[in-house]
A and B are shown apart, each in its own frame.
Chain A
Amino acid sequence: MWTWFHRLSSPPTFYRWGGALQWVFGIPAVVLIAIGTYGGLVLAPADYQQGDAFRIIYVHVPSAWMSLFVYTSMAVAGAIALIWRMKLAEVYVGAAAGLGAAFTALALVTGMLWGEPMWGTYWVWDARLTSELLLLFLYLGVIALDGAYVDARRGARAASVLAVVGVINVPIIHYSVEWWNSLHQGPTVTKFDSPSITGDMLWPLLVMALGFMCYFASLVCLRMRTRLLDRERSARWVADAIGAGHG
């Protein structure tokens, strides 16, 4: 069984399978995001309190969910990289960080664009917003560490340590709206109860979230493959791969 796992985690195997997975995830990503956008902008009814401004939810919440999910996955991969020295796990940390940072920045900015008309302010230093901003800085730290060393493995290990240490911020972000007085509203979906949002508003949100997830999965495969080519540059399989014609 371990030989199967060992083979699966070999760079040339991942390079090959990842090339296919890019499309397996990429095409559904486009379809789901298109459907979710149409559902959110056109089909979903306007909110009785927020009117059409609430539609920002369809980009703000999926981005925020992804910012948390990606960081958590980076922390898991980082732990695996540090404990078992698994190359693929190290490469995942660096590959995912840029995408996670983009989702975090998107969540923050769309949140600001939602907050201004609804709360009357672009920003407050409350627990939810502050901890999400901290998450962005953690991502930037991971990116910086990953690229800071001439030896890619040392950089990846340093980045993995930060990823693991910083993951404590993720539950803080999630529970911030319950633990502290926060301007940001409480959870309507991610809680141990049925969602407190009506179905015809909820479905585009779930479709968008799935679309964003597929988008991330597709690009992280591509980015991991790019990094593998760099790290394994003197290996025979790399010579074959770049001579093969397409990536």
Chain B
Amino acid sequence: MAEWLSMGGYAVYVWSSFGLTAVVLAGGVIASVMGMRQQRTALRRLREFGDDA
């Protein structure tokens, strides 16, 4: 297990690459989902209080 984690000595490069990829891919999902939620909330508010946008 420790041998696998060390990636033949290249651990910092390999795990940084995969870690960064995971963060970016997850971040994309989070950003997109939040974007939709914000859009729907904004539109609901407009309808409630009158459309002067």
Residues in B with CB closer than 8 Å to A247 are: 36-37, 40
Q: How many residues of A contact B (CB 8 A)?
A: 38
Chain A interface mostly helix, strand, loop or mixed?
helix
The A-contacting residues of B in range 26-46, CB under 8 angstroms, are: 27-29, 31-33, 35-37, 39-40, 43-44, 46
Asked if A53 and B10 make an inter-chain contact with CB atoms under 8 angstroms apart, the answer reads: yes
> Are A109 and B20 within 8 A (Cβ)?
yes
Can you list 25 residue pairs at the A/B interface with Cβ under 8 Å? A41-B18, A52-B7, A52-B8, A53-B7, A53-B13, A53-B14, A55-B7, A56-B17, A59-B17, A60-B17, A63-B21, A109-B17, A109-B20, A113-B16, A117-B10, A215-B25, A219-B32, A222-B36, A223-B35, A226-B39, A229-B40, A233-B53, A238-B43, A242-B44, A242-B47
A42-72 vs B, CB cutoff 8 Å, 1 = contact: the mask equals: 1000100001110110011001000000000
B49 within 8 A of A: no
CB distance A110 to B20 under 8 Å?
Answer: yes
List residues of B whose CB falls within 8 A of some A CB. 4, 7-10, 13-14, 16-18, 20-21, 24-25, 27-29, 31-33, 35-37, 39-40, 43-44, 46-47, 51, 53
Selected from A53, A102, A105, A229, the residue in CB contact (under 8 A) with B39 is A229
A59 with B7: CB separation less than 8 A: no
Min Cβ gap A27→B in Å is 13
Write out, one digit per residue, whether chain A residues 96-127 have a CB within 8 A of any chain B CB (1) or not (0). 00110010011001100110110000000000
In the bound complex, CA of A56 to CA of B10 (Å): 10
Query: In the complex, are the beta carbons of A51 and B32 less than 8 A apart?
Result: no
- Asked if A37 lies at the interface with its beta carbon under 8 angstroms from chain B, I say yes
A225 is an interface residue with CB less than 8 A from chain B: yes
Give the number of A-B contacts (CB < 8 Å).
Answer: 88
- Whether A24 is near chain B, meaning CB under 8 Å from some CB there, is no
Could you say which of B28, B33, B46 has the most chain A C-beta atoms within 10 Å of its C-beta? B28
Question: A219–B29 contact, CB under 8 A?
Answer: yes
A120 CB to nearest B CB, Å: 13
Point out the residues of chain B lying under 8 angstroms from A222, CB to CB: 32-33, 36
Q: Which of A143-195 contact B (CB under 8 A)?
A: none
Instruction: Check A225 against B13 for contact (C-beta < 8 Å).
Output: no
Within 8 A of B (CB), among A206-220: 215, 219
* Interface flag for A91 (CB, 8 Å): no
In the assembled complex, A230 has its CB within 8 A of some CB on chain B: yes
Tell me the bound Cα distance from A242 to B38 in angstroms. 12
In the assembled complex, A234 has its CB within 8 A of some CB on chain B = yes
